Structure 1
Amino acid sequence: MNRVIGYLLALLGGYLLYQFRYRLLNLILGNQTMRAFFIRLSLRIPFVRDKFLHKAFF
């Protein structure tokens, strides 16, 4: 019974995160420190870094 309730709560949480994903992104990325952290984090991924640098300089 507890497992079923846990799964239902996880599904509900996932659904709510999906519904409010843009509000959450605006809340998180509205902070300059968090935005800089996520930019640094994303630029560590080679594919993202290559795409960004290609569009920025070519």
Structure 2
Amino acid sequence: MRHIVLVLTLLVVGTLGYQMRYRVLNSLFGNSFIRSLAVRSFFNLPFVRDRLMKQVFR
């Protein structure tokens, strides 16, 4: 019984999270500190940085 309740809870939370994903992302990236942290971490990935630099400096 406890296992079924856990699975149903995860299913409901996952469904709501999927439906509200853009609202959550917009509220997170509305904060300038979190936005700059996300951009900084994204550019620390070597393949992303290399690919973008190739496109910028053609």
TM normalised by structure 1 equals 0.83
- The structural deviation recorded for 1:19 is 0.3
- The structural deviation recorded for 1:30 is 0.5
Alignment map for 1:2-13 (pairs within 5 Å): 2-13=2-13
Which residue matches 1:24? 24
Distance 1:34 1:7 in 2: 31
RMSD across aligned positions (CA): 1.3
Structure index of larger Rg: 2
Structure 2 residue runs of 5 or longer lacking an equivalent are none
- The structural deviation recorded for 1:48 is 2.1
> Between the two proteins, what is the percent identity of the paired residues?
38
Aligned length: 58
Structure 1 residue runs of 5 or longer lacking an equivalent are none
* Structure 1 residue ranges (4+ consecutive) displaced by more than 4 angstroms after TM superposition: none
